[in-house]
Amino acid sequence: MEIKDAQTNILKKVTADKGNQTETPEYSSKDFSSDQDVRWCPGCGDYTILKQVQNMMPEIGVPKEDIVFISGIGCSSRFPYYMDTFGMHSIHGRAPAIASGLKATRPELSVWIITGDGDSLSIGTNHFAHLLRRNMDVNLLLFNNEIYGLTKGQYSPTSHEGAITKSTPMGSIDHPFNPAAISLGSDGSFIARAMDRDPKHLRTMMKRAHEHKGTSMVEIYQNCLVFNDGAFGVYTDKKSRPAETIYLEDGEPLVFGSDNDKGIRLDGLKPEIVNLNDGFSKNDLWIHDEKDNTKAYILSRFFDDPSTENHLPRPFGVFYAVNRPTYDDQVNQQMMLAAEQKGETDLDALLRGKETWVIK
């Protein structure tokens, strides 16, 4: 009964807080910068991501004391030390489990999970998938540098085939994970991709993630200049970017190219590149719909090696965004329903219920 009473009090407090919210103080990005020395390699893409998170935080309208950053293990997982908010540097691959417990018991908090490709897509793959399946109302930023940086350059689950690393000197023979495809396969309700060297777009994606009710997964291409420098150069270089990337905008045609002269159309469910100077118009093109999971999955398979002929451009933006019930809301609804039930609980009757039997 004490546990049930405590849960009821938590829910009453959350309800009261939501009904009596005071005005959030005005913050600047400096208010979210801690006094800890940042210990990443000079030039690491993590610096850009950290800066954009600190720039975005004053815009989301949440008091600092209600913001929490939880990380696993890896270079990216030092993140909570550098944010002047509550946070926890947890254990390898288990940040989603810790964040889920926190959100279920403190639903008023804005919870952010910071993870990497080695952390979430190797030892933590099951936690990552179940977080998306359950749809906890948390935000996950997946720093993908296609390498193990903290342990000094071994290949990771997202390293491309043939990658020469400390642990694959003859080239990796593993087929890489595709984070967007895994997330859609886990029935994630918000899937997006950004990159460290496009900070304006990155900030927009993170703000969209915050606004989403449910688990938001933002994969961020992040350069590791020591062990995998230039892994995403074809997408970040100003000369190659227009032909190699396509930015997704809900309700807009899929157009790319240095002069926006190329587009993607669907031949049935097969995407193909067309030239808008060869008789095609924007009316012929695929119109992006964030709520269409079939087309979102097709977009996630725009994952060709950019060195191959006739490859498709890599998409950036929101692949998929839909609303569905969140796990934490449903947990708390069940607790409120249980708290409304009257009478004392007979523990003996519970233990000797339908799932027990007598052996003679």
Kindly report the number of other CB atoms within 10 A of residue 345's CB atom.
Answer: 9
CA 53, CA 206: separation in Å to the nearest integer?
A: 8
Radius of gyration over every alpha carbon of the chain, rounded to an integer in angstroms: 23
- Over the range 20-58, which residues count as b (16 or more CB within 10 Å of their CB) and which as e? eeeeeeebeeeebbeeeeeebeeebbbbbbbbbbbebbb
Token reading at 272: 């193909």
Residue type, 298: I
CA 42, CA 136: separation in Å to the nearest integer?
A: 35
> What is the model's pLDDT at position 243?
96
Residue 58 vs residues 20, 54, 133: alpha-carbon distances, Å = 21, 8, 30
Instruction: Give the long-range contacts of residues 16-22, CB within 8 A, separation 24 or more.
Output: 17/108, 18/108
User: For the CA atoms of 127, 131, 137, 141, what is the dihedral angle to 10 degrees?
Assistant: 60
Q: What is the mean pLDDT of residues 177-187?
A: 97
Give 62-99 pLDDT, tens digit per residue: 999 999 999 999 999 999 999 999 999 999 999 999 99
Give 115-174 pLDDT, tens digit per residue: 999 999 999 999 999 999 999 999 999 999 999 999 999 999 999 999 999 999 999 999
**55-69, 208-222, 344-358: the lowest-pLDDT one:** 344-358
| Average pLDDT of the residues of the chain | 91
Residue 20 has pLDDT above 90, yes or no: no
Task: List domains and CATH numbers for the chain.
Answer: 2-231+325-340 (3.40.50.970)
> What is the model's pLDDT at position 104?
94
Helical H segments across the chain, by residue range: 2-19, 46-56, 79-82, 95-105, 117-118, 125-134, 179-185, 199-211, 233-236, 241-244, 293-300, 327-340, 347-351
Give 285-324 pLDDT, tens digit per residue: 999 999 999 999 999 999 999 989 889 999 999 999 999 9
Q: How many residues does the chain have?
A: 360
CA 67, CA 63: separation in Å to the nearest integer?
A: 7
Output the pTM of the full model: 0.89
CA 194, CA 310: separation in Å to the nearest integer?
A: 23
Helix 125-134 and helix 95-105, axial crossing angle in degrees, nearest 10: 30
pLDDT band at residue 343 using 50, 70 and 90 as cut-offs: low
CA 219, CA 222: separation in Å to the nearest integer?
A: 9
The alpha carbon of residue 124 and the mean position of all alpha carbons in its chain are separated, in whole angstroms, by 14
Residue 211 vs residues 118, 137, 172, 323: alpha-carbon distances, Å = 27, 10, 39, 11
